């Protein structure tokens, strides 16, 4: 995994949180046009639109493909677990 600053100012299209950094699943890569973004706060899937410098919702076809992708499933599971642990810590 490789971390970098966001390529442009962006907010999650679903929860509205500012997303100011990226963690790539491939070493040495930065977001490119058409790459998938997964919000660390709410788990929303979005697509990088570098032409309009924004995150857009996946098309119906992209959503269907992403739902079959094991990397996406693992990332969503990691977010769910991290949020559960965070909730557990805040209850102590």
Residues that bind Zn ion (CB under 5 A): 12, 14-15, 39, 41-42, 44
Query: How far from chain centre, in Å, is Cα 25?
Result: 11
Least distance to Zn ion, CB of residue 76, Å: 12
DSSP 48-62: EETTTTEEEPPPHHH
Least distance to Zn ion, CB of residue 29, Å: 22
Least distance to Zn ion, CB of residue 27, Å: 25
| Closer residue to Zn ion (CB): 42 or 76 | 42
Q: Which residue, 77, 18, 22, 80, is CA-closest to 48?
A: 22
């Amino acid at each position: 995994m490789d971390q970098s600053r966001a390529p442009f100012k962006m907010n999650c299209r679903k929860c509205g949180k500012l997303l100011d950094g990226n963690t790539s699943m491939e070493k040495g890569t930065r977001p490119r046009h058409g790459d998938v973004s997964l919000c660390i706060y709410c788990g929303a899937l979005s697509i990088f639109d570098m032409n309009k410098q924004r995150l857009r919702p996946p098309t119906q076809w992209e959503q269907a493909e992403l739902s079959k992708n094991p990397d996406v499933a693992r990332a969503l599971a990691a977010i769910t677990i991290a949020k559960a642990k965070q909730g557990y810590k805040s209850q102590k």
